[in-house]
Amino acid sequence: MSDAPLPLHRVLFVMNPISGDIDKETVLEQLQQVCAERGNEVHLFETTGTNDLTNLRQQLQENSYDVVFGAGGDGTVRLVAEAVLAEGLPMGIIPLGSGNGLSKDLDIPQQADEALNVLWEHRVREIDTLSVSGHLTVHLADLGFNAVVVERFSTGDTRGPGAYVRVALQEYMGYEPARYRIETDTEHWEGEAFMLTIANARTFGSNVVINPDSQLDDGWFELCIIEPFPGAAAPGILYDLYTEGFENSDYTRRLRCRKAQIWVLNEEKVQVQVDGEPMELSTPLEVTISPRSLRVLVPA
C-alpha cells in the first residue's frame, strides 16, 4: 500500500447506464462538474453489453489516462479491473450498482460524491485477483443457490435489493443442492452444498458477510461452503451471515487455499456468478490467485 497520492489529471469514467436504480445522467453531471472545478480532464466510456472489454481496451491503448473509474456495480468494476490490469493503470470505484460489494470491502463511501474524493485524497492499495477457469474475479464468485438467483435476477425487468430478495424467495422453495468434490493445495472435501462461494473478499453487496476473516491482499482465497440445512435452521444461518458469524453454524465450513479444482458431480456445466455476472462454465473449475496484482484507490 502506498500512502503518497498519485498525480491524477486525466480521468476516464466507465459507466453502466442500467446498473442499480440510480439516475446515471444526473450523477455523471455532478462528477464532471466537481472534476472541472478541481482542474481534472474527464472522459466517458459507456458500456453497452456488447464487446465492452475489447472496446474499453482499445480506448485505453489509443488514449492516455491517469486513472480509470468503474461507475456502476460489481460487474462494471470487474470490467474495469480486467482492462487496467493489462495497461498497469490504477482504478477507482464509484458505487452505483445494486450491491457494490467490493467498494464496501474497501471502505469506499457509498455516496458518489464522497467516493469521488479518493481522486484527490487516496492511498493505492494492491489487492489480489483470482482466475476462475480463466475469468477474472476481484471480489466473489459462487456456485449453487446464489448463482441461480443472480442468473434469474439478471434477466428480470427490475433492479435493486428488493427485486433480488423476491427472486431469492421464489428460488429457495424448489432449490435442490448439488454434490461437489474439491481438491486444493491444502485439503480435499466432497459433499453436498447449498451454496459454495469462492471468496477473495468478505461481504456480498447485500451485506451478507460470507468470509469474515478474509484479507484482499494476503495471497490466499477461501472456499466458503453452506451445506444443506433444514428449514428451521434458515433464520439462524441468515442471522450468522449478517453478524459475521459464518463459522458458528453446524452447516458451514471454510477451506483456505492458493489454488483449487471444483467438480460438480454428474454435471458437465454449472451456473456460476463471477462478481455479479452470471455465466455457465465447464467443470472442473480451476481457481488460482495472483497476489497484489490490481491497484485500487482507497480513502486516505
Q: Residue 146: what pLDDT? A: 87
Residue 266 lies in a domain: yes
83: Cβ contacts below 8 Å, ≥ 6 apart: 14, 53, 56, 57, 60, 68
Tally of structural domains, the chain: 2
For the segment 90-115, the average pLDDT, to the nearest whole number, is: 91
- Name the residue range of residue 214's domain: 135-292
Residue 124 lies in a domain: yes
> What span, in angstroms and rounded, lies between the C-alpha atoms of 143 and 130?
15
Q: Residue 7: what pLDDT? A: 82
Residue that the C-alpha cell 442468473 belongs to = 151
State yes or no: pLDDT of 205 exceeds 80: no
Is residue 78 domain-shared with residue 197, that is, in the same domain?
A: no
Which long-range contacts link 228-231 to residues 24+ away (Cβ below 8 Å)?
228/177, 228/192, 228/193, 228/194, 229/194
Is residue 274 domain-shared with residue 164, that is, in the same domain?
A: yes
State yes or no: pLDDT of 169 exceeds 80: no
* DSSP 3-state of 63: coil
State yes or no: pLDDT of 4 exceeds 90: no
For the segment 217-226, the average pLDDT, to the nearest whole number, is: 97
State yes or no: pLDDT of 257 exceeds 60: yes
Cell numbers linked to 121: 485524497
Q: Please report the DSSP string for 140-158 in residue order.
A: EEEEEHHHHHHHHHHTSS-
| Average pLDDT of the chain to the nearest whole number | 89
Is residue 91 domain-shared with residue 145, that is, in the same domain?
A: no
State yes or no: pLDDT of 21 exceeds 60: no
Q: Label residue 155 by pLDDT band (50, 70, 90).
A: low
Q: Label residue 12 by pLDDT band (50, 70, 90).
A: very high
Q: What percent of the chain has pLDDT over 90?
A: 63
Residue 4 lies in a domain: no
Q: What is the CATH number of the domain that holds 97?
A: 3.40.50.10330
Q: Does the N-terminal peptide bond of residue 284 adopt cis geometry, omega within 30 degrees of 0?
A: yes
Q: Residue 161: what pLDDT? A: 61
Is residue 153 domain-shared with residue 247, that is, in the same domain?
A: yes
Region of poorest pLDDT, from 11-15, 84-88, 173-177, 288-292: 173-177
Is residue 156 domain-shared with residue 272, that is, in the same domain?
A: yes
Answer whether 0.85 is exceeded by the pTM. yes
Q: Label residue 195 by pLDDT band (50, 70, 90).
A: very high
Is residue 152 domain-shared with residue 187, that is, in the same domain?
A: yes
